[in-house]
Amino acid sequence: MSWEEIKNCDPLMITKLPVKQKIIRDTIKLLKTQPIMRWNGKQSIHLPPKQGRALENQLEETVNSAVSEIRGMIACPGKVEGEVVVINKMSEFEKMKPGKILVTVMTRPEFVPLMKKAAGIITDEGGITSHAAVISRELKVPCVIGTQAATKKLKDGDKVFLKADHGIVILK
């Protein structure tokens, strides 16, 4: 049986392959249970789930430390430099102080008092007609939306330069 034939098989059919094709079945099982592979200099080796997750975390940390900017869409143009406050839930609202840059997954009507205090706004989600985009334009507060990673990459107290004219957040 060729690789092309295997790729087109129903998964149940693959499990019923003849015993002489045990290598294929074992390989498929290995890929299901240990999908992370690492090159050891000579060959690819499959990692057990715990090691695979550790490698993924290590790679993510390496990438995150190398990233010096976050990109999104322009919601309201402007430039501002300041300190970040990450708000993930309503119980964190008291963290927001005037002049800080609000970072959140997305805004809702209850965020408006925070948005009025903000020197800038950054969201993970949202489009040009999202709540954050509309309110930031009304308030004339520089805003970048749809970054997909701001709440993961930025922490309270981080210094950033928000270039909302270009949809860029530069980490200082």
* Residue 46 is among the residues annotated as catalytic for this protein: no
Tell me the two tokens of residue 19: 């015993």
Active-site residue, selected from the candidate residues 25, 46, 131, 152: 131
With CA atoms as reference, report the closest residue to 161 among 63, 66, 69, 67: 69
Find residue 101's DSSP bridge partners.
84, 120
Q: Is 56 left (phi over 0), alpha (psi -120 to 50) or beta?
A: alpha
Return the CA Rg of the chain: 23
Which residues are identified as catalytic? 131
